[in-house]
A and B are shown apart, each in its own frame.
Chain A
Amino acid sequence: DQQVKQNSPSLSVQEGRISILNCDYTNSMFDYFLWYKKYPAEGPTFLISISSIKDKNEDGRFTVFLNKSAKHLSLHIVPSQPGDSAVYFCAASRGGATNKLIFGTGTLLAVQP
């Protein structure tokens, strides 16, 4: 039962253009969503998050959009840079006692110079 899905295993973008990474979820009880970036042989690094009461959160070049009716969120990176090349994981939590994260399978972003 894959509650968080990232249907694109990979994405290639030219430097300077926009990268859009997508994530779908099935559990309407999720109330907090996060994006993590992961380089090889390193742990995931927190990027940006959004509460379910919002529909947009922006931090520098990174913006996360949440569409609750569609159970869909997306991460926009603009402008994309070669250093952004990594695997991006979408994660969701239900709050409550543990706030354990449910992760998608990741999207490998390659930003071409």
Chain B
Amino acid sequence: GAGVSQSPSNKVTEKGKDVELRCDPISGHTALYWYRQSLGQGLEFLIYFQGNSAPDKSGLPSDRFSAERTGGSVSTLTIQRTQQEDSAVYLCASSLGTSGGQNEQFFGPGTRLTVL
């Protein structure tokens, strides 16, 4: 079956430009997460969606970062006025739910963002 897909796979942008990253979760998964992995670091939580609502945005590093989810499915992560420190791999994950055994999160391949 189809897994989590993300686009683009790679994005190179100039400092100060805006970027949009897209995530298509596994069909039927109500929970959706965004993480990022900077060079040499572990994965860092950014935001969590349950359906179209985002009850936990605590990981977004600044107000330049925003995300939305529509139709309980596709999500976009937008970074405005990109900075070099935004360079990282941005990973999306989805899960059936959020309790116990439903919390196995399935990850997409990621979008590698490079800000020049």
Q: How many residues of A contact B (CB 8 A)?
A: 27
Task: Give the contact-size bracket for chain B.
Answer: 20 to 34
Q: Count the A-B residue pairs with Cβ separation under 8 angstroms: how many?
A: 70
Stretch at the interface among A11-19, A67-75, A96-104: A96-104
Min CB distance, A44 to chain B, in Å?
5
Evaluate contact between A100 and B42: CB separation under 8 angstroms. no
Residue of B nearest to A34 (CB): B104
> Which A residues between 83 and 101 are near B, CB-CB below 8 angstroms?
89, 91, 93, 95, 97-101
Stretch at the interface among B14-22, B63-71, B73-81, B95-103: B95-103
Other-chain residue from B42, B56, B95, B106 in contact with A103 (beta carbon distance below 8 A): B42
Evaluate contact between B42 and A106: CB separation under 8 angstroms. yes
Docked Cα-Cα span, A42 to B108, in Å, equals: 8
Docked Cα-Cα span, A36 to B91, in Å, equals: 14
On whether A44 and B107 interact (CB within 8 A), knowing A100-B45, A103-B43, the answer reads yes
Evaluate contact between B103 and A32: CB separation under 8 angstroms. yes
Q: For A43, A49, A93, A98, which residue has the most chain B Cβ atoms within 10 angstroms?
A: A43
**List of A residues within 8 angstroms of B35 by Cβ:** 101, 103
Assess whether A105 is interfacial by the CB under 8 Å rule: yes
Assess whether A45 is interfacial by the CB under 8 Å rule: yes
**List of B residues within 8 angstroms of A29 by Cβ:** none
Residue of B nearest to A45 (CB): B107
Residue of A nearest to B110 (CB): A43
Other-chain residue from A44, A102, A104 in contact with B45 (beta carbon distance below 8 A): A102
Min CB distance, B6 to chain A, in Å?
8
Q: Which B residues are closer than 8 A to A by beta carbons? A: 4, 31, 33, 35, 40-45, 48, 50, 55-56, 59, 91, 93, 95, 98-101, 103-110
Q: Which A residues are closer than 8 A to B by beta carbons? A: 4, 6, 32, 34, 36, 41-46, 49, 51, 89, 91, 93, 95, 97-106
